[in-house]
Structure 1
Amino acid sequence: MGFSLLRGERTGPRRGSYQTPHGSFETPCFAPVGTLASVKGLLPSQVREAGAELILANTYHLALRPGEEVVRAAGGLHDFMRWDGPILTDSGGFQVFSLEGLRRVDDSGVYFAGSQSGKALFLDPKEALRIQRDLGSDIAMVLDECPPAGAPRKQVQEATRRTLLWAKEAARVHQQWGGLARGQAVFGIVQGGLFADLRRECAEAIRELPFDGIAIGGVSVGEPKPEMYRVVEETVPLLPAERIRYLMGIGDPDDLFEAVLRGIDMFDCVSPTRHGRNNLLYVPEGRIKIRNAIYKKDLRPIQEGCPCPCCRDFSRAYLRHLALAKEILGGILQSLHNLTFLEILMRELRERIQEGWTPTALREWFRLHYPGWGRGFDPQNPESPILGRSR
Structure 2
Amino acid sequence: MTFDITSTDPASAARTGTLTTDHGPIETPIFMPVGTAGTVKAVHQRELETDINAEIILGNTYHLYLRPGLDVLEGAGGLHGFNGWKRPILTDSGGYQVYSLSNTRKIKEEGVTFRSHIDGSKHQFTPEVVMDIQRTIGADIIMAFDECTPYPCDYDYARRSMHMTHRWLDRCIARFDATPDKYGYRQYLFPIVQGSTYKDLRRESAEVIASKERTGNAIGGLAVGEPAEEMYETIAIVNEILPRHKPRYLMGVGTPANILESIALGVDMFDCVMPTRNARHGILFTTEGVINIKNEKWSRDFSSIDSGLDHYASNFYSKAYLRHLIRSEEILGAQIASLHNLAFYLWLVRQARLHIRAGDYVSWKNEMVVRLMQRL
Assess same fold via TM > 0.5.
yes
Does the 8 A contact of 2:62 with 2:97 survive in 1?
yes
Equivalent-residue separation in structure 2 for 1:245 and 1:368 (angstroms):
25
Q: Which stretch shifts more, 162-171 or 181-190? A: 181-190
Deviation at 1:184, TM superposition (A): 0.3
Equivalent-residue separation in structure 1 for 2:174 and 2:2 (angstroms):
19
Q: 1:43 maps to what in 2?
A: 44
**Counterparts of residues 1-391 of structure 1 (less than 5 Å):** 1-8=1-8, 12-48=13-49, 49-177=51-179, 183-355=186-358, 357=359, 361-369=360-368, 371-373=370-372, 385-387=374-376
Output one character per residue of 1:324-357: Cα deviation in whole Å (capped at 9) or x when no partner: 11111111101111111110111111122233x1
SS in 2 for 1:101: coil
Q: Aligned pair in 2 of structure 1 residues 256, 24: CA closer, same or farther (>3 Å)?
A: same
Equivalent-residue separation in structure 1 for 2:22 and 2:124 (angstroms):
29
Equivalent-residue separation in structure 1 for 2:185 and 2:62 (angstroms):
22
Does the 8 A contact of 1:299 with 1:317 survive in 2?
yes
Equivalent-residue separation in structure 2 for 1:332 and 1:296 (angstroms):
19
Deviation at 1:5, TM superposition (A): 2.0
Equivalent-residue separation in structure 2 for 1:353 and 1:131 (angstroms):
38
The TM-score with structure 1 as length reference comes to: 0.91
Equivalent-residue separation in structure 2 for 1:372 and 1:354 (angstroms):
22
Does the 8 A contact of 1:125 with 1:166 survive in 2?
yes
The TM-score with structure 2 as length reference comes to: 0.95
Deviation at 1:368, TM superposition (A): 3.6
Equivalent-residue separation in structure 2 for 1:147 and 1:64 (angstroms):
23
Output one character per residue of 1:204-242: Cα deviation in whole Å (capped at 9) or x when no partner: 011111421110000000111111111101110100111
Deviation at 1:119, TM superposition (A): 3.4
Does the 8 A contact of 1:14 with 1:353 survive in 2?
yes
Q: Aligned pair in 2 of structure 1 residues 369, 190: CA closer, same or farther (>3 Å)?
A: closer
Does the 8 A contact of 2:181 with 2:187 survive in 1?
yes
| Aligned residue type for 1:363 | V
Output one character per residue of 1:303-328: Cα deviation in whole Å (capped at 9) or x when no partner: 12322232221111101111111111
Output one character per residue of 1:1-31: Cα deviation in whole Å (capped at 9) or x when no partner: 232222239x700111111121111100000
Does the 8 A contact of 1:64 with 1:121 survive in 2?
no
Equivalent-residue separation in structure 2 for 1:285 and 1:96 (angstroms):
37
Equivalent-residue separation in structure 2 for 1:154 and 1:367 (angstroms):
37
Equivalent-residue separation in structure 1 for 2:8 and 2:285 (angstroms):
29
Equivalent-residue separation in structure 2 for 1:256 and 1:265 (angstroms):
10
Output one character per residue of 1:107-141: Cα deviation in whole Å (capped at 9) or x when no partner: 11111123214432211111101000011110100
Output one character per residue of 1:64-106: Cα deviation in whole Å (capped at 9) or x when no partner: 1111121110111111011110000010111232111121111
| Aligned residue type for 2:352 | L
Q: Aligned pair in 2 of structure 1 residues 185, 177: CA closer, same or farther (>3 Å)?
A: same
Does the 8 A contact of 1:213 with 1:245 survive in 2?
yes
SS in 2 for 1:186: strand
Q: Which stretch shifts more, 337-346 or 45-54? A: 45-54
Equivalent-residue separation in structure 1 for 2:308 and 2:148 (angstroms):
40
Q: Which consecutive residues of structure 1, in runs of 5 or more, have no partner in the other structure?
A: 375-384
Q: Aligned pair in 2 of structure 1 residues 70, 178: CA closer, same or farther (>3 Å)?
A: closer
Output one character per residue of 1:166-215: Cα deviation in whole Å (capped at 9) or x when no partner: 01111222222358996100000000001000011111011111421110
Equivalent-residue separation in structure 2 for 1:368 and 1:153 (angstroms):
37
SS in 2 for 1:100: coil
| Aligned residue type for 1:292 | N
Deviation at 1:369, TM superposition (A): 4.6
| Aligned residue type for 1:39 | V
Q: Which stretch shifts more, 93-102 or 138-147? A: 93-102
| Aligned residue type for 1:149 | Y
Equivalent-residue separation in structure 1 for 2:15 and 2:43 (angstroms):
30
Equivalent-residue separation in structure 2 for 1:141 and 1:192 (angstroms):
17
SS in 2 for 1:352: helix
Q: Identical aligned pairs, as a percentage?
A: 40
